[in-house]
Structures are given as structure tokens and as C-alpha cells.
Amino acid sequence: MFKAIHQNDTVYFAHCYPYSYTTLQTDLQSMKTDPLRAPLFRHSILAKSVAGNNIDLLTITKPVTCPEDLVSRKGVILSARVHPGETNASWMMRGLLLWLTGASCEAEEVRRRFVVKVVPMINPDGVIVGNYRCNLTGYDLNRQWMSTKKPSAGKAIPEVCAMVGLLERSVASREVVFFCDFHGHNRKNGIFMYGCESEGNDRATAGGSGKKSRKTSGKPKPPSASARRMSFTTAPTPQQPTKKRACTPTTIRLPRSTTSASSQDTLTNPSTPPATTTSTNTSTTTEPDTTTPPPLPPPPPPSPPQPKPTPKYSERVFPYLLSLSTPTLFHFRRCHFHMPASKRGTARISVHRRFNIAHSYTLESSFLGSQGFHFSKRDLEKMGEGVGVRCMTGFVLRVGGSGCMGLL
């Protein structure tokens, strides 16, 4: 029972704490005018929405004087509010943004090691007009990640096309190690993640439907001690080649850190073999005219990004660590990692398969709170901070760091 206590009040009912497009612009403006935060990020416009609103992009990393330093950093891509009604996602993202541009030593380490791209509001039109799930043309954008090649995509779903373009450019310039899309959830309690099973466990590739996969998957298992060790310290075991879809072939190349010398040669020097090799090749083929050198063969098409071998259960390590650091908010037992066919158009699964990013997640915060209490704004912001801390402590080991192991 609700009661208006003042006669001329206008009372609004909200599913969760409101976070509007204007709120985002106010937060961004506040960050840009903060002398401590402003030098640590760059604000740009990723694209325009259907209605012509700006889709904001923040690039957060430690400023460099030498461009090579930037290229060597690994990539992290984060997004929120593809579903406009899920404002809890924005509060988590707000906490993460403030943490990433904050003064803590952990945030400093993240900025030193990573280039973090953040799209805090993918679907500004939906937020502005009050949609719950769709963009202005009526599409649930988190089911359209496989539709960006359609002729109408540029007009119908420019928001997703922009995100795919961001992923393509990022993967082409550096190794992207982590993707997470922030959401709200209507049925389950607590905060949890959906991830993507490493290929050996992928039920969707075996033809299972979403319902069947869910039925057979059972509860997620915490990663064993050996799995955790494998994720960060041992060489991964090679796996079967997968049927992953190639990215745009003219722009994608292998990440520097995982590209072997031989594959680099294949990708970067296909049309300029040494002179001795040319001579050998021409002598073994039919030569109708020996006075002019034969034309060089056309360069082979660039290879698609190679699947990165991933140890079994490694996708569970990040959520597991998150559950240890924020036990009252985040619940590992509510996470799942299967990839049903019905969810193939989601950011999580599409990014995992199309760009070979093993750690591709959806972060879900319940509208219902957790275990008898509702989340406050501060709870949601803390969860965002927790993702930031775990980005660093979880991945710093993979990139060879040592100073923060104690945080585990």
C-alpha cells in the first residue's frame, strides 16, 4: 500500500533506481571536469543511435608517451544498458567507471596493463523513450549480434553494428582478454554471471537446444584447484579446431602475444617471398615466356583469428573469484556457462565465438535483491568495483605480473 503524503506531489513508481540518459551525461561531465580523473580517460562518440543520440565511448588507460607501449597492452571491453529498463546495470557500471578512474593502486595497475573500452549506454533511444527491452525500431538488441551483416542493419540496429565494429577494431589492434555486458534480471536473486563454456564443454555446438542444455548442464561447479592453476600458470593444451565464424577478413590479425613467428609470416608477408624462393618456384612451373618475370601470385586471404586454446573450466575462474571478494552480493552457484542455441545472438555468445574471447560474460543483477535484502545504489556500485578489482587480480597473473598475487 502506497500513500502520497503531500497533496500536489507527483509520485513515480520505478522498477529500480532510475538512471537516465541525462544522469549518464551528468556523470560523464563530472568525470571530465575532475582534474584527477580527466587525464585518465578519453571520451568519444562511438556512433549515433537510430534517433541520432550519441552512443558514448570511454577509453581508459594510463597515458603513454611511446605508442608501442599502448599496443602491447591487452584489451578489456565493457558495456551496459542494451536493455533500457535495466537501470541496475548502470549503477554497477557507474561504480566500475569511478573505480577505474580512481586513485587506488589496483586501478592504477589496470590502467597500466590494459586499454579498457567502456560503452556505458548502448541503447540511449530506448532509455530516453522509456522502452524496457528494445531500441527505437523495436529490436531486442541483445538478440541481434548475428544480424549485423544484413542490408538493413545499419538503419535498424546501428547500436549493435557499432559494438561489433568496436570489437573488430579492438581485436585487430591488440589481444582482447575480457568482455562483459551488464544487465538486470527479473527472476533469480542476487548478482551472478553467464559465461561461455570452453569448447570441450560446449553443448550448443553439439546441437542442443537451450532447454535441453539447461536440463543437462546441472549446477555449475566451482573450478577445482587444478583448474585454477591451469588457468593462469600452465601452458594450455591444444584443442580441436572449431567452426567459429571469421571476423572481417581485411582487418583482423592475430594478437601479437599469441602469434607465432610462422603464423606472423603467413599473415604479414604473403606476397613478398625472398628472391631465391621466387626463382625456385618459377623454375618448377611452366613458363611460356622466360623474358619477363611471372606475375606475383595474389596474396592469400588473411587467416581468421585462431581459436585460443582454453583450459577446461577456465571461464569459471573469474566469477568464482568475484564470489570470494563480494560474497554477500555475488553468487557463483547461480552462474551458468552453457550456450543454448536461442541465445546465439547475444553479445556474450557472439563475442565469444566471433572474436575468440574466452572470457565473455553477462553480469546480471537481480531486481529482487539477494537473500532477504534489496540492493542499494551503493551495493550495485560496489559490485562494479568488484569487477574492476577482479579484472586486475584475475588477469594480471596471465600477463606475467606478480605484485598483486596477494589479493587472491
Angle CA 27–30–36, to nearest 5: 125
- In the list 74, 83, 174, 354, the residue contacting Zn ion (rule: CB under 5 A) is 83
Residue 397 pairs with which residues in a beta bridge?
none
* Cβ closest to Zn ion, residue 330 vs residue 395: 330
Residue 112, CB-side half-sphere exposure with 13 Å CA sphere: 12
Which runs of E-coded beta strand occur in 30-189? 41-48, 54-60, 74-80, 114-119, 176-185
Cα distances (Å, whole numbers) of residue 263 to 158, 245, 271, 308, 352:
34, 19, 14, 14, 22
User: Whose CA is closest to 101, among 148, 62, 46?
Assistant: 62
Asked whether position 183 contacts Zn ion by CB under 5 A, the answer is yes
Compare residues 86 and 159 and give the one whose CB is closer to Zn ion: 86
Distance CA 82, CA 210 (A): 22
Specify the 3-state DSSP secondary structure of 70.
Answer: helix
CB-nearer residue toward Zn ion: 88 or 326 = 88
Per CB under 5 A, does 37 bind Zn ion?
no
Q: Which helix (H) or strand (E) holds 282?
A: helix 275-283
Residues 86-105 that bind Zn ion (CB under 5 A): 86
Torsion, Cα of 278, 283, 286, 289 (10° steps)? 80
Judge contact between 258 and 309, C-beta under 8 A: no
Q: Which of these ranges, 123-131, 180-188, 232-240, 307-315, lies near Zn ion under the rule CB under 5 A?
A: 180-188
Is residue 73 a contact residue for Zn ion (CB under 5 A)?
A: no
How near is the Cβ of 133 to Zn ion at its closest, in Å? Answer: 7
Q: Please report, as residue ranges, which positions from 44 to 63 form the binding site for Zn ion (by CB under 5 A).
A: none
Of 89 and 252, nearer to Zn ion (C-beta) is: 89
Q: Hey, which residues does 119 pair with through a beta bridge?
A: 79
Which of 111, 348 has the CB closer to Zn ion? 348
Q: How far is the CB of 89 from Zn ion (least distance, A)?
A: 7
Residues in contact with Zn ion, total (CB under 5 A)? 3
Per the listing, cell 554477500 goes with 328
Residues in Cβ contact with 79 at an 8 Å cutoff, skipping those fewer than 6 apart:
118, 119, 120, 122, 163, 180, 181, 182, 347
What is the closest distance, in whole angstroms, from the C-beta atom of residue 66 to Zn ion in the complex?
40
Nearer to Zn ion, 74 or 183 (CB): 183
Query: Least distance in Å: CB of 346 to Zn ion?
Result: 9
Q: In this chain, which stretch among 31-39, 84-92, 281-289, 342-350 interacts with Zn ion, using CB under 5 A?
A: 84-92
Distances (CA, A) of 363 to 60, 195, 295: 20, 9, 54
What residues have CB less than 8 Å from 303, skipping those under 6 apart?
A: 254, 263, 266, 267
Could you tell me the smallest distance in angstroms from the CB atom of residue 392 to Zn ion? 26
From 3-11, 81-89, 194-202, 238-246, span contacting Zn ion (CB under 5 A): 81-89
Among the listed residues 109, 364, 381, 385, the single catalytic one is: 364
Provide the 3-class DSSP secondary structure of residue 135: coil
Stretch of 77-85, 94-102, 151-159, 307-315 contacting Zn ion, by CB under 5 A: 77-85
Nearer residue to Zn ion within complex by CB, 157 or 254 = 157
Please identify, among the stretches 123-131, 176-184, 207-215, 281-289, the one whose residues bind Zn ion according to the rule CB under 5 A. Answer: 176-184
As measured in angstroms, the least distance from the Cβ of 340 to Zn ion is 16
Q: Which of 186, 156, 170 is nearest to 89 (CA)?
A: 186
- Nearest distance in Å: CB 274, Zn ion: 54
CA distance 141 to 144: 5
Closer by beta carbon to Zn ion, 41 or else 182:
182
Query: Does residue 194 sit in helix, strand or coil?
Result: strand
Handedness of CA 325, 397, 224, 89 (dihedral sign): positive
- Tell me if residue 364 is catalytic: yes
Give the nearest distance from C-beta 184 to Zn ion in angstroms: 6
Q: Where on the chain is the footprint of Zn ion (CB under 5 A)?
A: 83, 86, 183
For the annotated catalytic residues, the residue numbers are: 364
